[in-house]
């Protein structure tokens, strides 16, 4: 179980894909490592930190080969609080609309927040000196996905790569980065889908075009409902969109009367959550929850309220608004897509009330 909680919801053992029960995330601005979700495409590499090397090449003036010690000594360390979100978060709700074969039925807890410490990717790229035509930073990992027989890979646009918050992280919540989360070093791209925060990174290639890795060119792309997967088809997912989730109560039996309702909300890059509404009648009437300040510009905001639940079956609904006045779409049916990505519809949970 890779040091995870015993009650993790394990969707796959090989590769290891697991999320915590939603209530394990409730009320905690930072997610304990043992509760942090895990998304993988192949076997977990066992990398000796002493022999690990990072190669920086491509359209650069100076190719670099860095050991972990050199990365830590040569570049100033930086710590960011950042939320990572799987692009398939809340896919189970899309599966209820229409089947999506071969995809992990993620619930609402493939989202977690940690403090990440490492070198700023911007500093490493500055040392390499991106040259003419450079437009993307492509990452190659050490794990090999058996389904496509190639290492995991991804890329981000160079302007984002040069933003100071993108890290080559060697620590998580103040501890050495665990093997299950990409140790000894991973990329952390705040504000982007988790798939772009490549674990076990071993190469960074500065290039003119996005990565040609299957996981950039064909996977993690948003298709229309009748779309067919294929290289370059659909919209390549990158920056996160606004979402929310209900963490507690979580499909459980609760006593009638005042009940604490706790959840999270996350705004798109450069925005904040301004309001969260909660309803007990399917959205006909709403009450406003208390929304906490984010622990950083790149982190979720937790929210909470108390609802008076009547005896029977109660459906709790939540929707978030950002500081531009944008809100979430009502139904997952309107967001269904062949890969089950980006379910940002109103959050819902049903509970039996005694």
Domain ranges (residues) in the chain: 9-236, 243-353
Chain-centroid distance, C-alpha 331: 22
Q: How far apart are CA 147 and CA 247, in angstroms?
A: 33
pLDDT of residue 206: 98
Closest CA to 157 of 96, 120, 87, 211: 211
Question: What is the pLDDT at residue 253?
Answer: 87
- Neighbour-count burial of 179, counting CB atoms closer than 10 A to its CB (0-12 exposed, 13-18 middle, 19+ buried): middle
Query: What order do you get walking across the sheet with 347-353 strand by strand?
Result: 253-254, 347-353, 312-322, 273-279, 287-288
Asked if domains 9-236 and 243-353 share a fold, the reply is no
Predicted pLDDT of residue 172:
98
Whose tokens are 């035509």? That residue is 133
What is the pLDDT, as a whole number, of residue 270?
Answer: 86
Assigned superfamily of 9-236: Oxidoreductase, molybdopterin-binding domain (3.90.420.10)
Q: What is the pLDDT along the chain (354 residues), one digit of tens a residue?
A: 899 999 999 999 999 999 999 999 999 999 999 999 999 999 999 999 999 999 999 999 999 999 999 999 999 999 999 999 999 999 999 999 999 999 999 999 999 999 999 999 999 999 999 999 999 999 999 999 999 999 999 999 999 999 999 999 999 999 999 999 999 999 999 999 999 999 999 999 999 999 999 999 999 999 999 998 888 899 999 999 999 999 999 867 899 999 999 999 999 888 999 999 999 999 999 999 999 999 999 999 999 999 999 999 999 999 999 999 999 999 999 999 999 999 999 999 999 999
The answer to whether 127 and 54 have CB atoms below 8 angstroms apart is no
What is the structure's pLDDT at 250?
A: 86
Confidence (pLDDT) at 211? 98
- CA atoms of 304 and 314, how far apart (whole Å): 17
Domain 243-353: give its CATH architecture. Answer: Sandwich (2.60)
Integer distance in angstroms from the first to the last C-alpha of the chain? Answer: 35
What are 173's two structure tokens?
């919540």
**Residue 141 three-state SS:** strand
Give CA separation, 189 vs 85, 160, 167, 186, 294, in Å.
11, 8, 7, 10, 17
């Amino acid at each position: 179980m890779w040091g995870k909680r015993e009650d993790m919801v394990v969707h796959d053992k090989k590769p290891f894909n697991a999320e915590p029960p939603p209530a394990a995330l409730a009320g905690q601005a930072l997610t304990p490592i043992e509760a942090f979700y895990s998304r993988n495409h192949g076997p977990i590499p066992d990398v000796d930190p002493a022999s690990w090397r990072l190669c920086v090449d491509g359209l650069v003036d100076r190719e670099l080969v860095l050991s972990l010690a050199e990365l830590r000594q040569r570049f100033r360390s930086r710590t960011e609080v950042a939320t990572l979100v799987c692009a398939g978060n809340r896919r189970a709700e899309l599966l209820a609309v229409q089947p999506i074969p071969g995809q992990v039925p993620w619930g609402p807890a493939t989202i977690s927040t940690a403090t990440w410490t490492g070198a700023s990717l911007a500093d490493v790229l500055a040392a390499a000196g991106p040259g003419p035509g450079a437009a993307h930073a492509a990452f190659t990992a050490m794990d090999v996905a058996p389904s496509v027989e190639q290492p995991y890979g991804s890329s981000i646009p160079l302007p984002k790569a040069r933003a100071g918050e993108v890290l080559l992280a060697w620590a998580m919540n103040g501890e050495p980065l665990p093997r299950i989360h990409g140790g000894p070093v991973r990329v952390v791209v705040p504000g982007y889908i988790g798939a772009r925060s490549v674990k076990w990174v071993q190469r960074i290639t500065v290039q003119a075009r996005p990565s040609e890795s299957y996981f950039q060119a064909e996977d993690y792309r948003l298709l229309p409902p009748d779309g067919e997967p294929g290289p370059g088809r659909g919209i390549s997912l990158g920056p996160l969109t606004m979402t929310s989730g209900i963490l507690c109560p979580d499909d459980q039996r609760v006593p009638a009367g005042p009940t604490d309702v706790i959840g999270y909300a996350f705004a798109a890059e450069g925005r904040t959550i301004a309001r969260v509404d909660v309803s007990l009648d399917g959205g006909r009437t709403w009450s406003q929850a208390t929304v906490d300040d984010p622990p950083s510009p790149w982190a979720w905001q937790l929210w909470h309220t108390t609802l008076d639940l009547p005896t029977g079956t109660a459906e709790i609904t939540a929707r978030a608004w950002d500081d531009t006045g944008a809100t979430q779409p009502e139904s997952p049916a309107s967001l269904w897509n062949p890969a089950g990505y980006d379910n940002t519809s109103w959050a819902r949970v049903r509970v039996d009330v005694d």
